[in-house]
């Protein structure tokens, strides 16, 4: 990932893990949800101006819990449309020095469609200029992702 | 339990279970919460007129998941005070014929203090007569619980 | 869905819901996971012979909780490959008579890639004949899905 | 709390919160579970040498989520018996400088009975000398708790 990404630290919980000793697949959506909310909280739209329309998850590696175990979520923007955008969120391991692993080491790679949303009127809406400007730096370079 | 109790069926989920193959301890509070909400939904107070102040859980047996596994929660009232009450909620196994196990076979026994609550004013309030009348049949006989 | 599907009843929990009063998006993966496990438990492979490689979720409608609320998951097979298959799992509303809504009323539509897996050797494996025969009736008619 | 306590940072998740905008009551058991596992991982018994027998939770304040919100769990030992111990775990707010609030500001106060356990033989066992020595510094001063 050559462009700037938003980075969010995840603390794994004992109860995230299932009988096989793996972090449960549904928890991946929880991890990226929290990363997304913190990322968007700083945007002009805030958390309240978008809605999740679609999620795709590729499960790459099984995560085993260690007490206080950590992961990191890297979020970037793939494409921005008139009323929606496609973002990438990779769930990566963290080494003892706190450095995120590479995409090749990803635990899971996820892609999501977010729609600019007017909750009062319950309809989608176009992104405004301030939102587009804020999102632009997170757009991955061509050929990425 | 000689008096009438409220009975609520729980469907265990795969993700309720942890690495040891046991239903996670925090899920017991989830099971009894749902039982309580369904029970109270039929009361004059409804779900919105009470607040949870205290929970006690005695873990008795380890529950192992089976696909589609079931448990049952039995809820009764122990004591009713001026603005609060103490209820018992036992989490029991279910046999293949759908019959609940005895208290001696309980997976967990729990006790909770619920307070009659005025959410608008954010203060406790006395139970009214309709509430007391509705609760009375669930009060366990002396010596129970 | 003209072909036979596997049907699994979901009991929504109070704690499945978030601040907006909607069932949290990650819970959809939990609902379809439980449906999948019950479905596969009856197969020659059992739960232990497959691994989840990819999930796609289209969020269609927001689900609001009602005490004891229910949903249903319909599972069918889209395509069977040499070592994997693609299945569809629709999350549908249920009316008061217990009848599932149509696909047009789906809360969410999901698609998953499951891989036939040898956990001992930690490698994928071809489906065997018994597995293929068991899966065949769940394959949707051409043009479905 | 005048004696030394074990301190564990909790990152609240969006999905910890329910429709009322409060952290769900069952999550408190999850927070203290993770604190307990990290604390015990450093002990001679490790996580695998104890079992949870009883939990008590006093709910003191309602916690509202903020993106990336944090809490802290303070763990201390109340009493040590022959084969069990009683510990206290307070869930406290954290100010912007990262300092934990006082017990008077606790979100919840919890107490748990942990039993020294031989999982192989599935029976309780006496604490050994190394365990007692390790636990001693966490015992609250008389009159505490």
* CATH number of the domain within which C50 lies: 3.10.129.10
CA distance A17 to chain C (A): 13
Angle at which helix B25-41 crosses helix D25-41, to 10 degrees, equals 170
Per-residue pLDDT at C2 exceeds 50: no
For residue B62, being part of any structural domain is answered with yes
Domain assignment present for A108:
yes
Cβ of residue A29 closer than 8 Å to a chain B Cβ: no
The total domain count for chain A is: 1
Number of H helices, E strands in chain B: 2, 6
Of residues A15, A19, A65, nearest to B26 (C-beta): A15
Nearest-Cα residue of chain C relative to residue D19: C19
Please report residues of D whose CB lies closer than 8 A to that of A47: 67
Contact A30 D13 (CB under 8 A): yes
- Structural domain contains residue A143: no
Task: Give the pair of three-digit tokens for residue A35.
Answer: 């990363």
- D57 token code pair: 């939770």
ipTM beyond 0.90? Answer: yes
Using CB atoms, list chains with 3+ pairs below 8 Å to chain A. Answer: B, C, D
User: Which string of DSSP letters, residue by residue, matches C107-129?
Assistant: SEEEEEEEEEEETTTTEE----H
**Quick one: which of A30, A101, A19 has its CA closest to A60?**
A101
**pLDDT at residue D145, as a whole number:** 46
**Which of the residues C19, C26, C62, C67 would you substitute to probe the D interface, choosing the one with the greatest number of D C-beta atoms within 10 Å?**
C19
**CA B5: distance to chain centroid?**
10
Q: Minimal Cα distance from B59: which residue of D?
A: D53
Domain that holds residue D83: 6-138
Determine, yes or no, domain membership for B71: yes
User: Both tokens of residue D127?
Assistant: 């604490």
Distance, CA of A27 to CA of C26 (rounded, Å): 7
Residue at D116 is within a domain: yes
Question: d(Cα A8, Cα A74) in Å, to the nearest integer?
Answer: 7
Give the residue with greater pLDDT, C82 vs A65: C82
**Is the Cβ–Cβ distance between A145 and A76 less than 8 Å?**
yes
Sorted by sequence, the CB contacts under 8 Å of residue C106 that are 6+ apart come out as C60, C61, C90, C91, C92
On whether any CB of chain C is under 8 Å from the CB of B13, the answer is: yes
- Assigned domain for C1 exists: no
Only one residue has tokens 């394959």, namely: C139
Q: How would you classify residue C107: left for phi > 0, otherwise alpha for psi between -120 and 50, otherwise beta?
A: alpha
pLDDT digits (tens, 9 = 90+) for B43-79: 987 877 899 999 999 999 888 766 668 999 999 999 9
Does D144 score more than 60 pLDDT? no
Selection from D138, D123, D124, D145 nearest residue D7 by Cα: D138
- Tell me if C90 sits within 8 A of C74, measured CB to CB: yes
- Confirm or reject contact between D41 and chain C (CB < 8 A): no
Pairing of strands C84-93, C108-118: antiparallel
Ranges of H-type helices in C3-123: 25-41
What is the C-alpha to C-alpha distance for residues D9 and D74, in angstroms, rounded to an integer?
Answer: 9
Burial of D101 (0-12, 13-18, 19+ CB in 10 A): middle
Higher-confidence residue of B56 and C95: namely B56
At C88 the pLDDT is 97
End-to-end CA distance of chain C: 7
* Tokens of residue A60, six digits: 């790459």
Of the candidates B58, B68, B51, B73, the residue with the CA atom closest to the CA atom of residue B25: B58
User: Helix or strand or coil: residue D135?
Assistant: helix
Domain for residue A1, yes or no? no
pLDDT in tens, chain A (145 residues): 445 799 999 999 999 988 888 899 999 999 999 999 999 998 987 877 899 999 999 999 888 766 668 999 999 999 999 999 999 999 999 988 889 999 999 999 999 999 999 988 989 999 999 999 999 999 976 544 4
In a domain, C51, yes or no: yes
Q: Is B38 on the interface with C (CB under 8 A)?
A: yes
Letter string b/e over residues C121-140, b meaning 16 or more CB atoms within 10 A of that residue's CB: eeeeeebeeebeebbeebbb
Instruction: Judge whether residue B108 has pLDDT over 70.
Output: yes
Q: Select the residue of B11, B15, B41 nearest C11 (Cβ to Cβ).
A: B11
Segment A75-87, tens digit of pLDDT: 999 999 999 999 9
User: Are the Cβ atoms of A67 and D33 closer than 8 angstroms?
Assistant: no
Tell me if B17 and A19 make a contact (CB, 8 A cut-off). yes
Neighboring chains of C (3 or more beta-carbon pairs < 8 A): A, B, D
Phi–psi pair at B64, nearest 5 degrees? -105, 140
Contacts of C28 (CB under 8 A, 6+ apart): C57, C59, C91, C107, C108, C110
């Amino acid at each position: 990932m050559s462009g700037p990404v938003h980075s969010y630290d995840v603390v794994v919980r004992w109860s995230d893990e299932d009988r096989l000793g793996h972090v449960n697949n549904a928890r991946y959506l929880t991890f990226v949800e929290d990363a997304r909310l913190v990322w968007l909280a700083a945007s002009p739209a805030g958390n309240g101006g978008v809605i999740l329309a679609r999620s795709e998850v590729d499960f790459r590696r099984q995560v085993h819990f260690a007490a206080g175990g950590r992961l990191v979520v890297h979020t970037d923007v793939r494409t921005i449309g008139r009323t929606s955008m496609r973002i990438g969120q990779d769930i990566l391991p963290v080494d003892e020095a706190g450095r995120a692993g590479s995409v090749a080491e990803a635990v899971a790679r996820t892609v999501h469609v977010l729609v600019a949303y007017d909750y009062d009127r319950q309809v989608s809406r176009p992104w405004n200029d301030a939102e587009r400007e804020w999102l632009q730096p997170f757009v991955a370079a061509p050929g990425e992702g």
